[in-house]
A and B are shown apart, each in its own frame.
Chain A
Amino acid sequence: MTRDKTDFWVGLFVLLGAIALVFLALRAGNMSSFTFTPTYTVHASFENLGGLKVRAPVKSSGVVVGRVSGISFDNERFQAIVSMEIESKYAFPTDSSVSILTSGLLGEQYIGITPGGEDKMLAAGNTIQYTQSAVVLEELISKFLYSSAGSQEKP
């Protein structure tokens, strides 16, 4: 086989590998989580994060508007601080509330933003005041047991 032909086939071979990787990344993987659109970061504190992970989606009305970018612990107020990147084309009022929701019954947890009514919009670096922690199953059960035990004591 002549030199140029060998080079051609080898080049085609490596190209095929690159195409295979790109196919896997785009069609099989969640490449969409790498948004190259501009984003701004806001923070929120929660009492309990539940199973929230970094890169979990941030949804409003069920549509993904951003991603969780960082999770840290505030040792002074003993709360979890979540940083999330929201796409710049979506602006939310400063009195919006965030809560940690679960997709389906046993699915992954995500953050839901419910818009408020203020005129001023959230800017980069702002902290969202109104937060609701994740629902922890054990606390729910103990609350139920405690309240049902309390109602039984009434004469």
Chain B
Amino acid sequence: MTTPYKAISQLGARVRKSITNLGAFMRLAGAILARSGAALSRARLVTQQIHFIGNHSLLIIAVSGLFVGFVLGLQGYYTLSRYGSEEALGLLVALSLTRELGPVVTALLFAGRAGTSLTAEIGLMKAGEQLAAMEVMAVDPIRRVLVPRFWGGLIAMPVLAAVFSMVGVIGGWVVGVQLIGIDPGAFWSQMQEGVDVINDILNGFIKSVVFGLAVTLVALHAGWTARATPEGVSRATTRTVVHSSLLVLGLDFVMTALMFG
């Protein structure tokens, strides 16, 4: 039974701990960015990480994009047909995907798939004392382990988001034109008139870059600060998913307000 005094001091300790964690996170991010020269001098490591992070996520991203496109086509048709604007389905699907769903859903899936694998890998390296061994050999673990993974994640994320949006548009086309029977000419021409390359596609691309930055940094930090036990690693992976999902949704709101508000 905690007295009110204890409860308040516990609350204060929690707040202080979160702010301290935020500071440690920023410091690690700064250290990774400062040593990013390693990404250029040892590009082989970066391409390996792009392969692990990006190529292996391609299947889940593409399949999710396809199904999201299908659902957008069906749900969009249901609402648009009430106003007689079924032919705007292409516009609806493309705008929803390139502006919002592409970057955000890809980021959430990325956090779940690639973020957790990054965190688990680094946490297990820490648990197996590999990071300590590197330091003993005078190899900077940040430069050797974290920097390639950071750049791998940062490069892979926008690529995955673009693939998601493209597959989603194709999925919307399959449902709208092939299954429901909307006129294909109207489908594509309304989309092409309404989707702006700079305002919509480029803004979606910028969003995906920012999300990639956020998710990768959170994943790396969670792995780096994991307790060197199996339970510690599992907690760290949970932290990765929860924190990066919340961060992605919060950043999405801020960026949408800035870009489109």
What residues make up the interface of A, taking CB atoms closer than 8 Å to B? 1, 3, 6-7, 9-10, 13-14, 16-21, 23-25, 27-34
**A57 nearest CB neighbor, chain B only:** B193
Secondary structure call for the B interface:
helix
Q: Determine chain A's interface SS by DSSP, over half rule.
A: helix
Q: Report the Cα distance A16→B169, complex, angstroms.
A: 15
Tell me how far the C-beta of B159 lies from the nearest C-beta in chain A, rounded to whole angstroms: 3
Band of interface residues on B = 20 to 34
Total residue contacts A-B, CB cutoff 8 A: 83
Using A16-B159, A21-B205 as known contacts, say yes or no to A10 and B47 having CB atoms under 8 A apart. Answer: yes
Contact status of A30 and B50, CB under 8 A, knowing A13-B159, A17-B158: no
Docked Cα-Cα span, A21 to B44, in Å, equals 25
Q: Is the CB of B193 within 8 A of A30?
A: yes
Once bound together, how far apart are the Cα atoms of A24 and B151, in whole Å? 25
Chain B residues with CB under 8 Å of A9's CB are: 51, 55
* Chain A residues within an 8 Å CB radius of B200: 29
What B residues does A19 contact at CB under 8 A? 166
Does chain A have a CB within 8 A of B94? yes
Interface status of B160 (Cβ within 8 A of chain A): yes
| A7 in contact with B162 (CB, 8 Å) | no
Tell which of A20, A28, A30, A33 has the most Cβ of chain B within 10 Å: A28
Interfacial chain B residues near A25, Cβ < 8 Å: 197, 201
